């Protein structure tokens, strides 16, 4: 692999970025965006209400959230490559088996297993790899670009899966998605390495930070237990949870919302929105290397919603690395994932339940919007606390203090 890396006209780290983008595209399309296609289709197939189907997917989200801290801690200790190789088997097999479900309980079990496999792919493993292959401002850029794949899944695969479901059924759609996840994870398992030193390379740094390349890599940062004891962690996690409740719940329920309003092009509208966000993520991801006022940017992004959709997935890794460092990124990110993703469970199930009760999505969508405003305020408070001397002193004892806000 080292010989191949040295023949490339660019640093091998950027090839890993491309692999991560494609993996996030296919996995995000298969295990996030397609749920909006599955909800009405499975509801009609099984003859049950929306709440039952949404609950099955949200239990999967709960499993995904609970598995995060354990997967993250394992990655911190052993690297991401082992987990990525394991993902070749778990998520694809679970999707294929779930595609044969004929009752809600089978969907519950199958999607829960698939959600465990999802933690082996996104977002922690590839984000963790970015923190090792890139330094300084290039790290921010790489983390931003990797999230482009998530939006691409909605922009490119959602309409394809919707057409496939209409021409066949949801069973075939899920089967195809499982095969697609298998294919990209095999490629990822072959190409990704934990550290550039594994193939005789140095991390990627910008020209004006080249001095960092001459120094030993210092993976500084607070541990997960240390982070959990800070107010910054809970303010950040709760604020992002409220933001993602709105983003995630509306996305999951969007096609059913359009159907309830007799809008036949719901999937097309959702995919166009995802395409706009994806196109916006590319220049935003590149520009992240120049951003210093991360917390102020996060507040603007959350309040904007539309722009926030383009930038939203970038917030978590950017805020975590700025506030808690990278040494224990996996465990800290997994702990935050448990909070942010766990909250989405109740938001989406609550929205589906209110629809079954009222026959309208107006009230839940208004609640989601109000939560976004509260979330922005909490992230602003997080930024204030993170820049206080007490928090900075903790970073100093862990190896580094970053005074940019």
Asked whether the predicted pLDDT for residue 229 surpasses 80, the reply is yes
Under 8 Å CB-to-CB from 104, ≥6 apart: which residues?
46, 48, 52, 53, 56
CATH match of 10-198+221-398 with 1.25.60.10: no
Mean pLDDT of 82-101: 94
Confidence of residue 215 (pLDDT cuts 50, 70, 90): very low
CA 79-83-86 angle, to 5 degrees, is 150
Mean pLDDT of 380-393: 84
Instruction: Tell me the Ramachandran region of residue 63: left when phi exceeds 0, alpha when psi lies from -120 to 50, beta otherwise.
Output: alpha
Instruction: Determine which of 107-121, 214-228, 258-272 has the lowest per-residue pLDDT on average.
Output: 258-272
What's the pLDDT at 280?
63
What's the pLDDT at 313?
67
Instruction: Determine which of 116-130, 263-277, 348-362 has the lowest per-residue pLDDT on average.
Output: 263-277
Residue 48, SS3 per DSSP: coil
12 vs 356, which has greater pLDDT? 12
Alpha-carbon gap, residue 28 to 32, rounded angstroms: 5
210 vs 404, which has greater pLDDT? 210
Confidence of residue 205 (pLDDT cuts 50, 70, 90): confident
358 vs 396, which has greater pLDDT? 358
What's the pLDDT at 207?
65
CA 118-119-124 angle, to 5 degrees, is 125
Asked whether the predicted pLDDT for residue 258 surpasses 90, the reply is no
Percent of the chain, pLDDT > 90?
Answer: 32
For the chain, what's the residue count? 405
282 vs 137, which has greater pLDDT? 137
369-385 burial by CB neighbour count: b if 16+ within 10 A, else e? eebbeebbebbbbbbeb
What's the pLDDT at 299?
83
Q: Is the pTM of this model over 0.95?
A: no
Mean pLDDT of 13-29: 93
Confidence of residue 213 (pLDDT cuts 50, 70, 90): very low
Residues 107-163 pLDDT 10s: 999 999 999 999 999 889 999 999 899 987 788 888 888 888 887 887 788 889 989
What's the pLDDT at 6?
77
Instruction: Determine which of 26-30, 270-274, 314-318 has the lowest per-residue pLDDT on average.
Output: 270-274
To the nearest 10°, the Cα dihedral for 284, 150, 76, 398?
A: 30
Instruction: Please give the span between the terminal C-alpha atoms of the chain, in angstroms, as a whole number.
Output: 39
Mean pLDDT of 64-90: 91
**How many CA atoms lie less than 13 Å away from 386 in the CB half-sphere?**
29
Asked whether the predicted pLDDT for residue 398 surpasses 60, the reply is yes
Confidence of residue 405 (pLDDT cuts 50, 70, 90): very low
What's the pLDDT at 165?
94
Alpha-carbon gap, residue 309 to 347, rounded angstroms: 17
What's the pLDDT at 358?
80
**Other C-beta atoms lying within 10 Å of the C-beta of residue 91:** 28
Per-domain boundaries in the chain:
10-198+221-398
Residues 294-331 pLDDT 10s: 788 778 777 776 455 556 667 788 888 888 888 888 98
Under 8 Å CB-to-CB from 96, ≥6 apart: which residues?
174, 175, 178, 179
Residue 224, SS3 per DSSP: helix
**How many CA atoms lie less than 13 Å away from 252 in the CB half-sphere?**
31
């Amino acid at each position: 692999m080292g010989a191949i890396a040295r023949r490339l006209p660019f640093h091998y780290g950027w090839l890993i970025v491309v692999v991560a983008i494609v993996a996030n595209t296919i996995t995000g399309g298969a295990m996030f965006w397609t749920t909006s296609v599955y909800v009405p289709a499975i509801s009609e197939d099984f003859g049950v209400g929306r709440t039952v189907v949404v609950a099955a997917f949200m239990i999967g989200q709960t499993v995904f959230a609970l598995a995060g801290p354990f997967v993250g801690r394992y990655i911190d200790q052993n690297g991401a490559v082992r987990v990525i190789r394991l993902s070749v088997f778990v998520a694809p097999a679970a999707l294929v088996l779930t595609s044969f479900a004929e009752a809600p309980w089978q969907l519950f079990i199958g999607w829960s297993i698939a959600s465990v496999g999802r933690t082996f792919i996104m977002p922690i493993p590839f984000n963790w790899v970015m923190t090792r292959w890139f330094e300084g401002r290039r790290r921010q850029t790489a983390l931003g670009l990797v999230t482009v794949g998530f939006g691409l899944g909605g922009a490119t695969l959602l309409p394809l899966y919707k057409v496939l479901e209409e021409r066949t059924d949801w069973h075939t759609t899920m089967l195809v998605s499982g095969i697609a996840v298998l294919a990209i994870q095999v490629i990822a398992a072959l190409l990704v390495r934990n550290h550039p030193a594994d193939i005789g390379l140095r991390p990627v740094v910008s020209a004006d930070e080249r001095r960092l390349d001459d120094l030993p890599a210092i993976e500084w940062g607070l541990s997960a237990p240390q982070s959990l004891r800070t107010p910054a962690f809970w303010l950040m996690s709760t604020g992002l949870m409220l933001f993602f409740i709105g983003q995630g719940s509306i996305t999951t329920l969007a096609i059913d919302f359009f159907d309830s309003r007799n809008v036949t092009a719901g999937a097309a509208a959702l995919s166009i929105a995802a395409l706009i966000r994806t196109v916006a993520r590319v220049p935003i991801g590149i520009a992240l290397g120049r951003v210093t006022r991360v917390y102020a940017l996060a507040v603007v992004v959350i309040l904007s919603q539309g722009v926030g959709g383009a930038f939203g997935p970038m917030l978590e890794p950017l805020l975590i690395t700025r506030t808690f460092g990278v040494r224990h990124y996996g465990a800290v990110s997994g702990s935050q994932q448990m909070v942010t993703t766990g909250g989405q469970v109740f938001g989406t199930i609550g929205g589906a339940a209110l629809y079954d009760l009222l026959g309208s999505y107006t009230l839940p969508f208004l609640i989601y919007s109000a939560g976004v405003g509260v979330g922005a305020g909490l992230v602003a408070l997080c930024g204030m606390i993170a820049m206080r001397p007490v928090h900075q002193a903790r970073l100093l004892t862990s190896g580094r203090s970053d005074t940019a806000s």
